[in-house]
Structure 1
Amino acid sequence: MAHGKLTPPASRRPNTSSQGTVVLDCQGLSRLVEDSAPVVALVAEARARGMEVAVSALTIIEATHRKTDRARLSWLLSGIRIEHVDEMTAKAASALLIDTGLHGHKYAIDAVVAEMAARQPAPVVMLTSDADDMSTLCGPAVRIIAI
């Protein structure tokens, strides 16, 4: 697929009539930026069903590197709801790590993304390359799709 086939919605404001939410973790966002056909198709299908697409602000940091197409990233982010990380989010993610027996920097951002996913309008689907850890962190409330 060529760049530009995925049309972002006009705003990042939460859609109160949402039919659910697709959450992208680092790999989900990276593959969307890379124009990966399967990820673009999943996101397009979700949007066609009235679902919103959301990312944690930390996911943007994690997914950006020297070779990132920054213009495409910026364009895509204009149509994705970006969830900010505040003190309440950090405390909830920390508690999630304790509850699941995980710890350390390896799981810190994943815990923030999982906590954010749990707060989204249902049904919630997460696109991730880390299905095992995200399943542990999210539990049954979030459908995990391995990419």
Structure 2
Amino acid sequence: MSLLLRSDRAMTARIEATRRAGLPVRVSALTVVEAAHGRTDMPRLHWYLSRLRLEAVTPEDSLEAVRLLKEAGGLHGHKYAIDALVAAMALRSPAPALVLTSDRDDWTRLCGDRVIIRDV
């Protein structure tokens, strides 16, 4: 999301290609909060969100995130909380779920091989 908000051409092209292929591009409501900042261009944010499927966090996601953190070797705290919640959401998505991330280590520990992880 942060790359989209910075108008990164490669990420924009990747998202558009996925949409043209008829596949949903999901983004967690948490990711929006994590990527936005005081200088975020709000019209741009709303435009991108109109082209993505914004996913809410459920109570079940919270419990699954706790389980994932525990299984990942005792990860905890704010450093891993959002990734764990988004991982739980990815795991409940229809397979194959693809996650684009700049922090592969967290994702590998949280999801193993159950989610396709790509670096951005």
Q: RCO greater where, 1 or 2, for CA within 8 Å and sep 6 or more? A: 1
Alignment correspondent of 2:7: 35
Alignment correspondent of 1:14: none
Q: Which amino acid aligns with 1:103?
A: H
Per the normalisation by structure 1, the TM-score is 0.76
The alignment status of 1:56 with 2:24, answered yes or no, reads no
Normalized per residue, the structure richer in helix is 2
- Which runs of 5 or more residues in structure 2 are unaligned? none
- List structure 1 segments (4+ residues) > 4 angstroms apart after TM superposition: none
**Partners of 1:42 and 1:136 in 2: how far apart?**
25
SS in 1 for 2:98: strand
Alignment correspondent of 2:114: 141
CA displacement at 1:86 relative to structure 2: 2.4
Offset from partner CA, 1:19-65 (integer Å, 9 cap, x none): xxxxxxxxxx0101211011112112212222111111111111110
Residue correspondences, number: 119
Alignment correspondent of 1:44: 16
The alignment status of 1:93 with 2:65, answered yes or no, reads yes
% same residue: 48
Over aligned residues, Cα RMSD in angstroms?
1.1
Per the normalisation by structure 2, the TM-score is 0.92
The alignment status of 1:110 with 2:79, answered yes or no, reads no
